[in-house]
Structure 1
Amino acid sequence: MTTLSRTDILANLTATPRCFGMQEESSSSSEREKFQTVLMCIHLAYGLAYTVGSALGSIPPSTDLCLTAFTAPNKPSEGDETDPTPNTNRKKKKKQPVPSGWWGTPSGPVAVINEKALTLFWKITNTVTWRNLHWLPHSILVYEIRVQEGYGMRWSQDQSEGAGTGVEMPPWIFRGFVEPMMENGHEFGWRHAP
């Protein structure tokens, strides 16, 4: 028997089997619709926003999994004795802090920067008002959380290999901090005004 991926399974749930001379139960179409409703209910029960790319049928990572990914060490470069976490490097990329100083400015030893980043992690996770689980191309599942002002964080999980095959899914990876959405963001390279 062929093992189907999650994507194939979800596609099968919306397809109507057709064969000359064969017929499904008359209730099959309404049963398929119920299943889509169940997926939506599960999605909403996790407190997730429903958007065009929402990953219905997928389950978001727990705060513990997010914290594990957030604090996982990066591979130090050769000769580097520090062990920065992914959040350290992501936070350093915020060269131009927003006028309100929402992110703060990363400075000091790596341990201090990591501690400040961990404070930001808890600030966001404890006051989150927007959660979404959505797909990027190539079966990349993304979990995004934001606070009311639009600042937040993202994690991803590459589900291109082994999804739905009984193989353990890869770990969640911290992708970085996110800033509020902006109109015409692509045109401005997603850089907010200082």
Structure 2
Amino acid sequence: MLEGEGLSKVLPGVNTFEDGVQIYRRFYMEEKERDNGVLAIDILKSSHQPYISVARIISVLGYNGVHNLLGLVHTAGTVSDSLPPPRSALLSALQQPYNRDVKGSTLTDGARALAKHFSRSSSKYWGSLDGSDSRKNKAAMDIITCLISSCCWLNLHVVPPHGVVFEIRDANGYGARWSGDGSKFIGFLEPYMKDGHLRRWRH
């Protein structure tokens, strides 16, 4: 490469090979080279921007590869040509006002959804829900932040009557669900259980 490009192009400001070696030795001593079994060093200047390399990698991976990379599961209803919405969209949907037409109402969709769940778990998984709307909104945000950071099950799949949804669950089965694009928060989820609807998901 040095012969083809010329030393000045590969290492600007360096006039001789000896000067280049001296600069290199400041970062990587001969002893370290020997210890690591280095036999040769190849200096390569990238011919394109890093985003081009990333785009090529993603193109080769395809949807299934990206799903696997992101840790999404594949079930019978999985939509294989979709990607999960960004975290910012998920949090924004949670904070949308529940009563948009009621003046002075500050309760969010997340807090309203939490109100349906906090009494269902005997282990008090959802915590308590009392105080002002602001306090309830914060409780919902704290729970969803915890779920997002600890989830071990993610899926983009079809769930009637909602259509395509993005769903996350933690190791205990608790979770949350949004529309597939993340623009609408659908609600929190209890762990799967036999006859869950009949038992009103109380456990």
Q: Normalised by the size of structure 1, how large is the TM-score? A: 0.66
Q: Deviations over 1:106-142 (max 9, x none)?
A: 1111000011111101111111111011013578210
Q: Report the secondary structure of 2:164's partner residue.
A: strand
- Alignment of 1:55 with 2:79, yes or no, is yes
CA RMSD of aligned residues (A): 2.4
Paired letter, 2:143? L
Number of residue pairs matched?
Answer: 144
Q: Deviations over 1:47-100 (max 9, x none)?
A: 11111101101011011110111112223454x522211011111112623111
Rounded to whole Å, the distance in 2 between the matches of 1:116 and 1:77 is 23
Rounded to whole Å, the distance in 2 between the matches of 1:122 and 1:171 is 15
Match of 1:101 among 124, 130, 144: 124
Match of 2:90 among 66, 69, 73: 66
Q: Report the secondary structure of 2:117's partner residue.
A: coil
Q: Report the secondary structure of 1:90's partner residue.
A: helix
- Alignment of 1:174 with 2:178, yes or no, is no
Map 1:1-194 → 2, pairs under 5 A:
38-78=62-102, 80-94=103-117, 96-137=119-160, 140-157=163-180, 172-186=183-197, 188=198, 190-193=200-203
CA contact (8 A) 2:77 2:158 kept: yes
Give structure 1 stretches of 5+ with no counterpart.
1-36, 158-169
Paired letter, 1:104? G
Which has more helix, going by share of residues? Answer: 2
Larger Rg: 2
2:15 alignment counterpart: none
CA contact (8 A) 2:169 2:176 kept: yes
Deviation at 1:41, TM superposition (A): 2.3
Judged with a 3 Å threshold, the aligned counterparts in structure 2 of structure 1 residues 112 and 57 are, in CA distance, closer, same or farther, namely: same
The structure whose RCO (Cα within 8 Å, separation 6+) is larger is: 1
Q: Normalised by the size of structure 2, how large is the TM-score? A: 0.63
